Structure 1
Amino acid sequence: MGGMTMTDLPFWKTTAMKDMTPEQWESLCDNCGRCCLHKLEDEDSGELAYTNVVCRMYDMKACQCSDYKNRRKVVEGCLKLSADFIPVDWLPETCAYKLLDEGKELMEWHPLVSGKKSSLAAAGMSLKGKVLPEDFVEDDELEDHIIAWVK
């Protein structure tokens, strides 16, 4: 009885993020949409607070960016993650990119782990029904929309 070999392990356990193919890299995203939430930064502590207000590019029905390929041309400040740029302070604790960067395991509900896209919603990680589009909230009202269910 032999143990697991390197070829039996999933790619995210055997391949450094810098060496992943574009398809592997993109598949790390679980499509939770939490990176699309507006965040507020405390000027004194630098601590981030998430709001329930989502970027105007976020498709509320599909629960994903409405134009992912061109998002950075439309939304100033939309970031493109890469193996050289993983803003761990800005990403939620459950983000696969952050978890792998910190040497941690992916969440059990992550579609790559569970094998099902539906596991995200089943675990309550979807934004569906939990967020407001930015068009409905004035910038000076964002503080009224701080949430605790994302960390």
Structure 2
Amino acid sequence: MTERFWEHKTLEQMTTQEWEAICDGCAKCCLHKFIDDEGADELAPTDHITEGEQIHYTNIVCALLDTKKCSCTRYAERSALVPDCVTLTKDNLKDIFFMPPSCSYRRLHEGRGLPSWHPLLNKGKKSAMHKAGMSVRGKTVSEAQVDLEHFEDYIALWPLEDIE
């Protein structure tokens, strides 16, 4: 991989290997989220947000997440196993509203660059990210352990933090 490729390539120009390397591995995308929509009768997946609506993050994570490593235990087949799993691609990058402000894809898409704790800036290691508190490690509960009917009891504000 070209050193610091993200500084001279757009996300759309990146190779598959470069694209995958941009993921900081924080696992915030694995958090259950919902949109506060007073008019909705039931919870349903969505690929858009309407003006005036707000995304709420919970500390509930997908059962496939290894919360210590902050990685999916079935990454290659996650979309088939979890139909609501959102796979971020170059094609749906414009709909990045559902990713937290600290997401490296979102940061680059918005022209903010990678944060100092990103693994690409730390010899490929996630330790700086964990130390900075930017991952889900130690902050979550598995969806298998909670009643998802009461997801509002698990709303979390920490996913919105972006320290630089």
TM-score by length of 2: 0.82
Q: Does 1:128 align with 2:122?
A: no
Match of 2:35 in 1: 41
How far apart are residue 29 of structure 1 and its match?
Answer: 0.4
Match of 1:109 in 2: 117
Quote the RMSD (CA, aligned, Å).
Answer: 1.5
How far apart are residue 60 of structure 1 and its match?
Answer: 2.3
Aligned-partner Cα distance in 2 for 1:114–1:61: 19
Paired residue type of 1:105: G
Q: Does 1:143 align with 2:152?
A: yes
Aligned-partner Cα distance in 1 for 2:150–2:140: 14
Paired residue type of 2:104: A
Match of 1:79 in 2: 86
Aligned-partner Cα distance in 1 for 2:90–2:108: 10
Unmatched tracts of structure 1, length 5 or more: 1-7
Question: What secondary structure does 1:89 align onto?
Answer: helix
Q: Which moves more between the two structures, 100-109 or 64-73?
A: 100-109
Aligned-partner Cα distance in 2 for 1:9–1:111: 13
Pick the structure with greater CA Rg: 1
Match of 1:25 in 2: 19
Question: What secondary structure does 2:98 align onto?
Answer: coil
Aligned-partner Cα distance in 1 for 2:72–2:9: 27
Match of 2:96 in 1: 88
Match of 1:100 in 2: 108
Aligned-partner Cα distance in 2 for 1:95–1:126: 10
Match of 1:3 in 2: none
Aligned-partner Cα distance in 2 for 1:34–1:89: 13
Paired residue type of 1:104: R
Q: Which moves more between the two structures, 87-96 or 108-117?
A: 108-117
Paired residue type of 1:11: F
How far apart are residue 136 of structure 1 and its match?
Answer: 1.1
Question: What secondary structure does 1:78 align onto?
Answer: coil
Aligned-partner Cα distance in 2 for 1:89–1:43: 15
What is the aligned residue count?
144
How far apart are residue 117 of structure 1 and its match?
Answer: 2.6
Aligned-partner Cα distance in 1 for 2:57–2:80: 23
Question: What secondary structure does 1:119 align onto?
Answer: helix
